[in-house]
Structure 1
Amino acid sequence: MDKTLVTINIDNTSFRLQKIHNFQWLKELGTVFCVFDEQDSGNICFGIKKDGVKSFVKYAGSKTVEYKGDVKDAILRLKKAIPLYEDLKCPILIELKKYFETECGYAAIFKWVDGECLHSHWAFNPYEKYNNPNSPFYKYKHLSVEQRLKSLDEIFSFHKYVEEKGYVAVDFYDGSIIYDFENNITNICDIDFYRKKPTINDIDEDFWGAKRSKAPEEYQLGELIDERRNVYTMGSIAFEVLGGEMDHSIEKLGAGEELYKVAVRATEINRTKRYCSVSEFHYEWKNVVKTIN
């Protein structure tokens, strides 16, 4: 495959694409200081600096290395994501500054946030993610239980807000989380696939999302994707942050039996046994956390 790739050099960075592409429009935004070019969504992202101010640029239009779909679909998805960032704007979500069409694609410019993505697959392979002390996920998992509970509370609060605004959190996983280890700040960086309710699984088993956080209904064509599905995702994130990820055993969860019971109910295979909303789940979760702190 490497023989068919082309290398693009911009400022002091370089990256690979499946086809040559014009990025001259980037020069007006500033100097590129980093590139994220291994996404399978069809987007390529850049860190840009101008007059001492950093920005995060998400762009669809080029044929990225890992993308197997149609570039036009990637462009359409990014365009459709813009109203999400505007409607769900809040402190934990990266701030959308502007967006525009280019000659060959579409760009969204966000305010830069310091921190590291918990699923940095471009820098750490699956083994290293969990075992390399420099991996953001490893460092996050080795924060104190109190720090991780605080981070989770912010994530749950955001998704309670998402729910109240009438959305479902499609494709939320650890790759959507940026954590600033110096200041202990959690940010959410990617909500591109969130959807307005009501919605269903219209893709079948390849519905957007990571296996470690997808509910059973996200593998079945025509199934309802709603509040109870949101609850499953939040419970899955709890197991990932505090426990054994897809191993939902009490032995792996390092936060006590009562909190384990809340997470287990959230991730029930039978959706009718789950909490009916993120609001209800978060209420129960907080009540247990109070007894821990």
Structure 2
Amino acid sequence: MKNEERQKVIDLTIDKVSFQLQEVHDFSWLKEIGEVFCVFDQQDSGNIGFGLAKNNQKFFVKYAGAKPIDYFGNPEDAIDRLLKAIPVYEQLKHPYLTQMIDHFYINNGYAVIFEWFEGECLHSHWSFGGKEKYINPHSPFYRFKHLDINKRLNVLNMIYSFHVFVEAKGFVAVDFYDGSILYDFKDNRMKICDIDFYRKSPIINEIGKDYWGAVRSKAPEEFILGEPIDSKTNVFTMGAMAFGLVGGEMDHSFSKWEAGEKLYEVAIRATEKNRDDRYSTLKEFYEAWQKALN
């Protein structure tokens, strides 16, 4: 939603950190968890995020129930979506996923507490929007793209390993894109975050062209109402992720690819428009990727 379309903006401050909402909301309960050191208030999901510190520990709190400036839906819908995400985090607990610590109703909303991870989001649209993401040397995405190819391939390997686990658990990844990746440049570590929309298979596209996800990583069926969203869909997303991190993103030409011909052939097959031409499962895709890698 563009700035000029926003109906109302309220400035709020907690522990010397300022942020904006569409209306005043009581966050006094955060004091029990810790001191706020950062706020993520520009999400279109209906959630607002807080970084908190207490006794040399840091936490990330995701809260639904307020009205963030870029959200024009109903807060109750955001609460419902966050509630549905709880069993997802419980069942998909994994070393490469940010760890959920607690969750509870509070102050007409719902809060989920995660362990804090000292990483930077590869799609930091609140700091590096539009072209800045790709050309600003301070942008996490720009810095990641300029890392050694082996470090980037290692991140892809972790992403694929996690999603093979997701598939084995009977889940389908929904709304996974570079904004779901946190990277620690100091220690070269990666965590996946924000898997709120992952669902138990089988599922279909019940929304149409605006189905959850970023255009650059969505499969063709994620734009069509009633189409199946399944392992083949996720294979496309993983191939698209490879092009995003070691290639030309939506330009799938070999000239923009940095990781050799064999891996390119795997990524190209994964991103075939025709579902039947892709790998059938994430496990099959990952095995082909590993073989090409070695």
Question: Do Structure 1 and Structure 2 share a fold, with TM-score over 0.5?
Answer: yes
Correspondent of 1:168 among 167, 172, 177 = 172
Q: CA–CA distance in 1 between the matches of 2:170 and 2:8?
A: 44
Of the three residues 142, 147, 160, the one matched with 1:156 is 160
SS where residue 107 of structure 1 aligns?
A: strand
- Structure 2, unmatched stretches of 5+, are none
Give the aligned CA root-mean-square deviation in angstroms. 0.9
Paired with 1:110 and 1:288, the residues of 2 have a C-alpha distance of: 36
Of 4, 10, 16, which aligns to 2:8?
Answer: 4
Q: How does 1:71-86 map to 2 (within 5 A)?
A: 71-86=75-90
Letter in 1 for 2:278: R
Question: 1:126, CA displacement in angstroms?
Answer: 1.4
Q: Does 1:204 align with 2:194?
A: no
Distance in 2 (alpha carbons) for counterparts of 1:98 and 1:190: 15
Are 1:119 and 2:123 matched, yes or no? yes
C-alpha separation between the residues in 2 aligned to 1:8 and 1:82?
28
- Equivalent position SS for 2:81: helix
Greater alpha carbon shift after TM alignment, 250-259 vs 209-218: 250-259
In 2: Cα distance, 1:204 partner to 1:72 partner: 22
Contact 2:209 2:223 in 1 (8 A): yes
Query: What code does the residue aligned with 1:176 have?
Result: S
Q: Distance in 1 between matches of 2:273 and 2:19?
A: 42
- 1:205 & 1:101 partners in 2: Cα distance? 33
- What amino acid is aligned across from residue 86 of structure 1 in structure 2? E
Q: 1:136 aligns with which of 140, 146, 158?
A: 140
1:186 and 2:184 are equivalent in the alignment: no
Distance 1:202 1:195 in 2: 13
The list of structure 1 runs, each at least 4 consecutive aligned residues, that deviate by more than 3 angstroms after superposition, is: none
The correspondence of residues 238-277 of structure 1 with structure 2, limited to 5 A, is 238-277=242-281
1:65 aligns with 2:65: no
Which residue identity does 2:181 align to in structure 1?
I
| Deviation for aligned residue 1:3 | 7.5
TM-score (ref. length: structure 2): 0.97
User: How far apart are 1:127 and its partner, in Å?
Assistant: 1.1
**Quick check: 2:183–2:190 contact (8 Å CA) kept in 1?**
yes
Q: Which whole-Å CA distance do the structure 2 matches of 1:127 and 1:213 have between them?
A: 17
1:14 to 11, 18, 23: 18
| 8 Å Cα contact 2:262/2:293 also seen in 1 | no
Which aligned pairs between 1:198-237 and structure 2 lie closer than 5 A? 198-237=202-241
2:106 aligns to what? Answer: 102
Residue 56 of structure 2 corresponds to: 52
Residue-pair matches, total? 290
3-state secondary structure, aligned to 1:276: coil
Distance 2:7 2:262 in 1: 55
Give the superposition deviation at 1:39.
0.4
| Residues 222, 166 of structure 1: alpha-carbon distance in 2 compared, 3 angstrom cutoff | same
1:44 maps to a residue whose letter is: I
1:109 to partner: Cα distance: 0.1
Return the alpha-carbon distance in structure 2 between the equivalents of residues 214 and 56 of structure 1.
27
Within 2, Cα distance between the matches of 1:180 and 1:4? Answer: 36
